[in-house]
Copies of this chain bind each other. A is one copy, B any other.
Amino acid sequence: MTDDRRSAGAPTLEDVARAAGVSRATVSRVINGVRNVDPAIQEVVRQAVSVTGYAPNRAARSLVTRRADAVALVVSGAGVEAEAEAGVGAEAEAGSGAGRAGGGSRATTGGGGSFTAQVFADPFFGRVVTGVVDYLRPRGMHPVLMFAETSRARDEVVAYLRQGSADGALVVSTHAEDPLPGLLTEAGLAAVLFARPARPVPISYVDLAHQDGARLAAEHLLARGCRRPATISGPLDVPAGRARLTGFRDTLARHGHAYIPVAEGRFTQESGEAAMERLLAEHPDLDGVFAANDLMATGACHVLREHGRRVPEDVAVVGFDDSSAALACRPPLTTVRQPVEAMAAEMARLLLDRPPGPSSPATSVIFEPELVVRASA
C-alpha cells in the first residue's frame, strides 16, 4: 500500500510531545518502555498519546524492543519434498489417503479441497483460535495464521520466525509424521505444540489425559448396562488415537470384557459412518459405541438410525471432544469434554511466559477430561 494512505493526517511524535509539554526524546523513551522515567511524566505522555491518537510505527518500535507483539499460529501437516513441488497452492496432500492427526482429534481429510479448507471443516480448529485469541487480546497481541503442510511452507514458517516477524509459534500438527516441530527446535526457535509430538522432540506442549477420558466413556457405558460395547478409534499412528483406544480397552478388561470390537476411523464424520457400518455388519448385537471424537460419533448415529437402531435405547453412543458437533447431533451427544480453548490459551501462556534465554527446557501441561452427559448415552 502507499504510505500516503496510511499516514493521512496521522498524528506524529511531535504532536504527542507538544500535547504533553515534554521533549520528543522523552515521549520516545516512555513509548519504548525505557526505565527511569518519572511515573508522573509517563502518565502525562500516555494521556497525550491517548488524546492525539498517536500510533507509533510498529516496525520502528519492533527494531527497538526486538519484539513483534505477534505470535504465529501454525497448522502443520506432513507433506514431503516432492509434494512441495506441487506448489504452495496446497492441494498436495488432499489425495494422500489416511488423514492422521498429530495428537488431538481433528479431522483433516474431508471431501478433498485445499489443506486450509480441510482444517476448518473441523470445529476443533476454531476452538484453538478462540483460546489463543482470548489469551493474546488482553495483552495487545494477535495471531498470524500460517499453514505448513509442504516442505516449502515449512521453510516459510521458519524464515518468518527467524526474521523476527513473530515472537514464537503455536503449532497444531495434523499428521504424526510432521517434521515441523523438529525443524523449529533445531533452529532454536520458540514454539509450543498442541498435543505431544508423535516423534520425541524436546519441545513444550499441552495435552489431554486421553486414557482417563476413554475410561470415563467406558465406565459410563458399563453403568448404563451395556453388555456388548464396541469402539470407533481414531488413527492409530497418532498418540491420542492410541491412548483413547488403550484407555477404553483397559477399563473394560478390568470389568471382564476380554474382547472389544474396533473399527479405525480418521476423525471425520464420513470415516465414522464407514466404521459404524463395518461394526454393525460384524457385530449386529452391539449395544454401545465409544467413538474417539464427536464427528465420528455423529456419523455413527446417522448409520445406526438408517439401520433402524434407536440411540440410546438400542445402542448408546459416547463421543469425545464436546465440540459444537456434539450439540448439533441428534440426539445431542454424551461425550468426553476436551477443554480445547483452555488448552490453547495455556499453549500461548507457555510461549510468552517462558524464561528468557535460548535454552529454556521443554515443559508440558496435561489437562483432565470430563464426562458430559446428554441424550445419546
Contact = CB atoms under 8 A, between A and B. Distances in A.
A70 interface: yes
A5 B129 contact: no
Contacts of A89: 134, 137-138
A242 interface: no
Contact of A142 (B146, B162, B305): B146
A357 interface: yes
Given A116-B134, A298-B328, 19 more contacts: A1-B67, A1-B167, A1-B168, A6-B161, A6-B162, A6-B164, A6-B189, A6-B190, A53-B162, A58-B163, A88-B137, A116-B129, A117-B126, A117-B130, A120-B127, A120-B129, A121-B126, A142-B144, A144-B144
A271 to B, nearest CB: 13
B59 A164 contact: yes
A79 interface: no
Interface string A36-76: 00000000000000000101111110110011101001000
Nearest to A8: B188
A284 interface: no
Interface of A: 1-6, 8-10, 53, 55-60, 62-63, 66-68, 70, 73, 87-90, 110-111, 114, 116-117, 119-121, 123, 125-127, 129-130, 133-134, 137-138, 140, 142-147, 153, 156, 159-165, 167-168, 188-190, 269, 298, 302, 305, 324, 327-328, 330, 341, 356-358
B2 A358 contact: yes
Contacts of A146: 142
Nearest to A126: B120
A90 B120 contact: no
A60 B57 contact: no
A63 B55 contact: no
A96 B188 CA distance: 46
Q: This chain: how many copies in the complex?
A: 2
Nearest to A359: B5
B6 A121 contact: no
B2 A356 contact: yes
Contacts of A145: 73, 129, 133, 142-145
A110 B3 CA distance: 41
A70 B143 CA distance: 11
A117 B127 contact: yes
Contact of A328 (B57, B88, B269, B356): B269
A190 B8 CA distance: 11
A212 to B, nearest CB: 25
A9, A57, A167: most-surrounded residue (chain B CB, <10 A): A57
Contacts of A161: 6
A126 to B, nearest CB: 3
